[in-house]
Amino acid sequence: MNYTTAQSGDTIKVDLVGRFTFGDHSSFRKLIEEIRGQSAETQILDLSGVEFIDSAGLGMLLLARDEGEKIRATVILKGAQGQVKRMLEVARFDTLFKLED
């Protein structure tokens, strides 16, 4: 998994690309540290570039949500498609995150 971040106003947008699986420990850790350093009220994780996610990847998204809550930021999952969308539905992430198309 690779990512790029962009901030505008009080919104930070993170574009994630590639496969997001159990082996993505270090890149995810870097990502969290990066968004933690910025004070944004809204954190948009754009998943449109993610082609595959496993349950460990879902676990990492939950971690991002916990971290967001600590600084009172809203975490939005955006643009999930295909398998990723299916996984979010199976895990009922709609009850935990704000999901956007």
Partner 1 sequence: MSPAGETFPRPRVAIAEPVNHDRVSAILAGKQIFDDGAGAEADLSFGRSPEDFQHGNRYQLCLIPQESSREWLGALVRLNCNYFIESFDQIDLRDLGPIRTAQRGAKWDLLVCMSTQSAYQLPMARKFVTALRHRGIIHDTIAPTVEMAVQEAFANSLVHGNLELDTTGHLTMDRFNALGEETARRLEAPAYGGRVIMLTAKKRRNGNVEISINDQGNGFTPPPEKPAPKLPGSESTFGRGLPLIRSLCQNVSFERGGRTIKLTFTPDTKASMPLNSNFAAGVEEAEKAIGESDLRNPRDATILIADDAMISREIIASYLRSDGFTNLVFAKDGEDALEQVRKHNPDLIILDIIMPKMDGYAVCKALRADPAYAETPIIAQTALEENEGRTRIFEDGATDLILKPLNKAELIARTRIHLENRLLVKQLQAYQERTQSELELARDMQEMLIPKPEQYRGIGLDYGMTISASFQMSSELGGDMWGLAPIDKDRLGVYIVDFAGHGLGAALNTFRLHSLIWSEEDRGEDPGTYLEALNRHLKGLLPVGQYATMLYGVIDRAKETFRYASAACTSPVLGNIKTGSTVFLDGSGVPLGVIRDAQYETRELTFTTDNFLLLYSDALIETVLDDGVFLEDDRLLKMVHNIVTETNGSTDLASNLADQFMDRAPVKLHDDFTVVSLQSADISGPKAS
Could you list the residues that contact partner 1 (CB under 8 A)? 2, 17-19, 21-23, 25-26, 29, 32, 49, 51-52, 54-56, 58-60, 62-63, 66-67, 81-83, 87, 90-93, 95-96
Kindly tell me which of 23 and 39 has the beta carbon lying closer to partner 1: 23
* Nearer of residues 23 and 34 to partner 1, judged by Cβ: 23
Tokens 């850790």: give the residue. Answer: 29
- Strands (DSSP E) found in 1-101: 2-8, 11-20, 42-53, 74-78, 98-100
Least distance in Å: CB of 60 to partner 1?
A: 8
State in angstroms the smallest separation of the CB of 83 from partner 1.
6
Q: Which residues of 54-71 are buried (b: 16+ CB within 10 A; e: fewer)?
A: eeebbebbeebbebbeee
